[in-house]
Structure formats: C-alpha cells, structure tokens
A = this chain, B = another copy of it.
C-alpha cells in the first residue's frame, strides 16, 4: 500500500488530492503522521478527499492505528490512517 507522509505543514487540500488519486488508482492508501499537527492535517485531508471521491460513488473511511517510525536516531510513535472505500 502506498504511504503518504503528512507533516504539520502539509496543505490538507494537496494531501486530499493525492489521497483521491491513489484511491482511484490503487484502491487504498496509508497516511502517516508524527505529532498532533500532522495528525490534524491528515484528518482534514481525508475529510476533503471524501468530497472529491463522493461524486464518483466512492465512500472512503479511515482506520487509525499506531506505528513506530525512526526519525534520525529516535524512535517515534506515528499515527497511521489507512484509507479505503467502505
């Protein structure tokens, strides 16, 4: 599954466009966010992507889970949001 990394500086509209594109092509996508700001942008992106996909009859939902990622030398907990059609 393709992984899109989202940061607190990511523009939700751009991420939403990427989510919609990957969903159309591959059927599902994973967003990965480290930190509250990043998780917030990821959630907004999914809400916006729902609007991009709804006219095509694609109703996406998200499944939140935890993941460990290594940033530099540090292990951090990331939130992963698996996005799939219902």
Contact = CB atoms under 8 A, between A and B. Distances in A.
Contacts of A64: 43-44, 46-47, 50, 62
Interface SS of chain A: helix, strand, loop or mixed? Answer: mixed
Interface residues of A, number: 20
Contacts of A86: 61, 86
Contacts of A66: 44, 47
B47 A36 contact: no
Contacts of A62: 61-64
A53 interface: no
Contacts of A37: 36
A79 B36 contact: no
